Amino acid sequence: MARVVILGAGISGHTAALHLRRSLGKGHEVVMVTPNSKWNWIPSNIWVGVGKMSAEQVTFPLAPIYKRKGIEFHQALGTSIHPEGDKDHSRGYVTIKYTSPEKAGQEGKIEYDYLINATGPKLNFAATEGLGPDGHTVSVCTAGHALEAAEKFKEVIAKLKAGEKQRLVIGVGHGTCTCEGAAFEYTFNVEHELVQAGVRDLAEVIYLTNEYELGDFGVGGMSFAQRGFETNSKLWTESLFLERGVKAILQSHVSKVEPGLIHYEQLDGVKRTLTFDFAMLLPPFRGADLKAFNKAGEDISSEIFAPSGFMKVDANYTPKPYEEWRAEDWPTTYQVPAFPNVFAVGIAFAPPHQISKPRTSATGTLIAPSPPRTGMPSGVMGKTAALTIIDQIKRGAKAKVHEASMANMGAACVASAGAGFTNGSAAAMTMYPVVPDYERFPGVGRSSKDTFGEIGLAGHWIKYMLHIMFIYKAKARPLWFLIPE
């Protein structure tokens, strides 16, 4: 009998758990350790953040799903990994701290034969003074945060209706943030709702980003073939900003937020301030607060984790100049080299380098979008790790190791630009591969046939369809496994 422990029930970890349970017989245990009681379809949080959806529409309780599927569920936070075990444990184990109301604060140990670290990001609001719901800005990173954002947005609309001008700033709250796509979506959903409320003329909407140019989205932008011309996501995105009257401030690192005032620095090294009445700024991410120890109880965290807190896997982490970065630097199996029965997937693995070119300001401040690895790639990584584990349990340690590299993986990003069955719109984008491969695709690094973007109502329908499909899949309803990651 083998036991597989998964830390984290986000898109990646939950996908892995469902595939493991589906393919492993009842003689094997699948154990989920996650601090939250609910699963959250995060891409729809932007709709919660403008009041178009309730928190219940984007979340559901995990316990009944895991009970039905036969997955052991611990509502707890993973605190340390002991991959070699110790004098009392012959196998590796994890220590956990319960977060459920009935067991809050209690600690435990769970041994494993295989471990998947899918802990996702720690929302590092502390990196910028005054950032986040405990500071002076709102967020849409969790359903709870998005509800709070919706309340504040409602107050803004009320003030606008009373004739008071309002400045809304939406974007990222640090020079090294990722998920610019989510900030872009929230910007245009807010703008759309202002139009719907009939108060757009009194509102100034500003997108504040660390991207070098619009359309970068943390992936260095995209090139599209359109109507016989090669165009790019920069021109395409700028066109949308122009059409909708949204202003943009680029190349920015937010250093501090005070009530109604954002301090930021741009690549030119000049420090500026920006007043606001409403601000939604996403935080930078860090790895979860996990420690690792060897058999003797010595702290080996620095060997297992990158300084960012993300777990090092089978990637090439050798520091080298941007020009020398290669597609093959990116991991394929997500195994930790020293411990092949330990995997890190989704946001939890340490990327070998950025995808978008990193830059520093004239004063030396790093302004570099971090690589996005959410959504579709996260699900694929979770499934890949699960398939490797399934084969190794069934066929022995020499069984096939499954591979999926972000340098050979496509991603669809459907960025909502306003919700509504007949008046909504979205920017539907796909790119293949996510990490450019300049050897396979000279020039732009991606397939021009499989990388495209289109704005329209159809995009909104696709985004809504994905919302329905992925919640159906996550609830493990009949034939869930037929829905691609």
Partner 1 sequence: MDNFADLSGAPRPIKKTLKMRKNIFMQLWRFIALNLKMVAMIFKGDH
Query: Is residue 238 within the footprint of partner 1 (CB under 8 A)?
Result: yes
Query: Is residue 130 within the footprint of partner 1 (CB under 8 A)?
Result: no
Among 19, 430, 470, 471, binds partner 1 (CB under 8 A): 430
Query: Is residue 425 within the footprint of partner 1 (CB under 8 A)?
Result: yes
Map the footprint of partner 1 across residues 263-322, applying CB under 8 A. Answer: 266, 270, 272, 274
How far, in Å, are 19, 243, 333, 451 from residue 380 at the CA level?
A: 11, 36, 11, 19
One character per residue 183-212, x = contact with partner 1 (rule: CB under 8 A): -----------------------x------
Angle formed by the axes of helices 11-23 and 62-69, nearest 10°: 20
| Cβ–Cβ < 8 Å for 63, 38 | no
Q: Judged by CB, which is closer to partner 1: 197, or 235?
A: 235
| Cβ–Cβ < 8 Å for 270, 253 | no
Q: How far is the CB of 234 from partner 1 (least distance, A)?
A: 9
Map the footprint of partner 1 across residues 55-114, applying CB under 8 A. Answer: none
Query: Is residue 235 within the footprint of partner 1 (CB under 8 A)?
Result: yes
Query: Is residue 228 within the footprint of partner 1 (CB under 8 A)?
Result: no
Rounded to the nearest 5 degrees, what angle is found at the Cα of 477, between the Cα atoms of 473 and 480? 45
| Cβ–Cβ < 8 Å for 190, 276 | no
Angle formed by the axes of helices 143-161 and 180-196, nearest 10°: 30
Among 409, 471, 474, 476, binds partner 1 (CB under 8 A): 409
Q: Judged by CB, which is closer to partner 1: 180, or 485?
A: 485
Among 65, 123, 141, 404, binds partner 1 (CB under 8 A): 404
Q: How far is the CB of 247 from partner 1 (least distance, A)?
A: 5
- CA dist., res. 4 & res. 25, Å (int): 12
- CA dist., res. 123 & res. 138, Å (int): 13
Query: Is residue 484 within the footprint of partner 1 (CB under 8 A)?
Result: yes
Among 178, 217, 459, 473, binds partner 1 (CB under 8 A): 459
Binding interface with partner 1 (CB under 8 A): 206, 213-214, 235, 238-239, 241-243, 247-250, 266, 270, 272, 274, 376, 380, 384, 403-405, 408-410, 412, 422-423, 425, 428, 430, 432-433, 447, 450, 452, 454-459, 461-462, 484-485
